[in-house]
Structure 1
Amino acid sequence: MKNSFDKMMSLDIYVSNLDKEEYVKIADNLNPSSKKSINLLSWGIQDLFIEKELYSDLKLIKTFSKSFNWKNNITSIIKENDYESLVLTDIQKKIIWVSDGFTKMTGYEKEFALNKTPHFLQGEKTKETTRKRIQTKLLKGKPFKDVIINYRKDKSTYKCELYIIPLHNKDNSEITHFLALEKEVV
């Protein structure tokens, strides 16, 4: 994911280094006229909010990483994967932290989720075979993706794609936590 702020700064630097003749050639493209419609998303406004959330999530997860001495490359995990919500659990699968996206996706406040297992998001339509498959994959201690039917606070269901990454201590002798990158899928 490219940083939108960097893109805008790059344009500013480029334009400021143009001579007058080069600037005149592109000036019409830089100043929106009243005849042209402007899509604000094309200016990267939405990307700036996404980048701010990404930066906030990364900063908090890196704080946990330092505290728990993880060997995993947290920066690449966060920056290279698409997600709406992050859920961090201990080895017993009790939630110790969720991102702001968790509340947006599920309707549950962050505080409500703490010290619970993600099982509280499951219900009647959540298949037992899916639960068992995920449990088996967790025991293998390798990153994996799966899809599970979860329930929001308002009791509506959604398909949740999980990308679960076991987090190892620096000497790689044990898994200390699990990080779930989650997004709703159709």
Structure 2
Amino acid sequence: MKNDLTKMMALDIYASNLEEEKYSEINADLQPSSKKSVNLLSWGIQDLFFEKELFNDLDTIKTFSENFNWKDNVSTVIKENYYESLVLTNIEKKILWVSNGFTKMTGYKKEFALNKTPRFLQGEKTTENTRKRIQTKLSQGKPFKDVIINYRKDQSTYKCELHIIPLHNNNLKITHFLALEKEVV
């Protein structure tokens, strides 16, 4: 990141010292493209926030893991996969805990989600085929990924990629599910 910042500063200095005619020739190349652009400086800041949230989430999940005697190494799964939100449900799919990212992604307060099933996030555009497919995968007891159309509190829709991990106790019985979620295009 330091090199990128240095390069951008050098480009700014170079461009600001050009004569008007030369600057006019390259000005179009210096403008952001019409495609969606990302401010490179924001990546470092985003990473810092994600790391802080990651550590908070890991601490909470470790506490759950100890309390429920999970044999699964959930910390590794969380560290190795990008997510915006975590949702922990019991075997009946009632929400026990959501990360702070859940509120950012959905608009719902954490307290609102507790003891509900994630179905409250679904609506008219969430197809029955998708619901059945996810239910079938849950019943198979294996980790999986899928995409579902969910609804925010303001009723706007978003495509949510779910990475669901069944969690097992020491007797290898599934006791909980952890969903790592992120919005996708």
User: TM-score, length-normalised on structure 2?
Assistant: 0.78
Matches within 5 A, 1:1-186: 40-41=41-42, 44-172=44-172, 174-186=173-185
Matched residue count: 156
Alignment RMSD, CA only?
2.3
Measured after TM superposition, the shift of residue 46 of structure 1 is 2.8
Q: Deviation per CA, 1:89-142, whole angstroms, max 9, x where unpaired?
A: 000000000000000000000000000000000000100000001000000000
Partners of 2:104 and 2:46 in 1: CA distance: 16
Counterpart AA for 2:59: K
Q: Which residue of 1 aligns with 2:26?
A: none
SS at match of 1:71: coil
Counterpart AA for 2:130: T
Partners of 1:86 and 1:138 in 2: CA distance: 17
Partners of 1:41 and 1:163 in 2: CA distance: 26
Partners of 1:83 and 1:120 in 2: CA distance: 20
Partners of 1:115 and 1:80 in 2: CA distance: 28
Partners of 2:167 and 2:110 in 1: CA distance: 21
Partners of 1:135 and 1:46 in 2: CA distance: 34
Structure 2 unaligned segments of length 5 or more: list them: 15-39
SS at match of 1:136: helix
Identity %: 74
Counterpart AA for 2:180: L
Partners of 2:181 and 2:142 in 1: CA distance: 17
Counterpart AA for 1:179: L
Partners of 1:125 and 1:100 in 2: CA distance: 26
SS at match of 2:161: strand
Measured after TM superposition, the shift of residue 40 of structure 1 is 4.3
Partners of 1:98 and 1:132 in 2: CA distance: 23
Measured after TM superposition, the shift of residue 49 of structure 1 is 1.3
SS at match of 1:66: helix
